[in-house]
């Protein structure tokens, strides 16, 4: 460690996203609330279930694509300049295999 850099180990189990039935918790809750709202508004159980299933499938897809996508979307409006794709510069990450 002559360069003075500090190396912190990162364990996969710590960075695993918290999900409910495979969807990120906030997106799952949003799907449930919209399903319940549709049920109350239309008075149709089928409509509420259909809305929930559509939003739930979208939430599962979004979570499998990127678990932090909700955070990214909410933050990107505030920090627009930092998320500019033309200013992208790759960061070198070195992975040390666990023995």
In a domain, residue 3? The reply is: no
What local confidence, expressed as pLDDT, does residue 35 receive? 95
What local confidence, expressed as pLDDT, does residue 74 receive? 76
In a domain, residue 49? The reply is: yes
What local confidence, expressed as pLDDT, does residue 34 receive? 95
In a domain, residue 97? The reply is: no
DSSP labels, 23-92: EEHHHHHHHHHHHHHHHHHH--HHHHHHHHHHHHHHHHHHHHH-TTHHHHHHHHTTTGGGG-GGG-----
In a domain, residue 9? The reply is: no
What local confidence, expressed as pLDDT, does residue 1 receive? 47
pLDDT by residue (tens digit) across 36-73? 999 999 999 999 999 999 999 999 998 888 877 777 77
Q: Which domain covers residue 35, as residue numbers? A: 19-87
pLDDT by residue (tens digit) across 23-39? 888 889 999 999 999 99
In a domain, residue 92? The reply is: no
In a domain, residue 54? The reply is: yes
What local confidence, expressed as pLDDT, does residue 29 receive? 94
In a domain, residue 6? The reply is: no
In a domain, residue 42? The reply is: yes
CA distances from 38 to 20, 31, 82 (A): 21, 10, 37
Q: Which residue has the higher pLDDT, 60 or 16?
A: 60
CB 18 within 8 A of CB 25: yes
Q: How many domains does the chain have?
A: 1
């Amino acid at each position: 460690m002559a360069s003075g850099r500090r190396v912190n180990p990162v364990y996969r189990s710590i960075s695993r996203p918290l999900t409910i039935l495979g969807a990120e918790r906030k997106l799952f809750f949003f799907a449930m609330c919209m399903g319940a709202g549709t049920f109350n508004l239309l008075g149709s159980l089928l409509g509420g279930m259909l809305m929930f299933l559509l939003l739930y499938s979208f939430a599962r897809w979004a979570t499998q694509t990127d678990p932090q996508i909700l955070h990214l979307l909410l933050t990107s409006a505030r920090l627009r300049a930092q998320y500019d794709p033309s200013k992208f510069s790759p960061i070198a990450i070195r992975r040390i295999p666990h023995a």
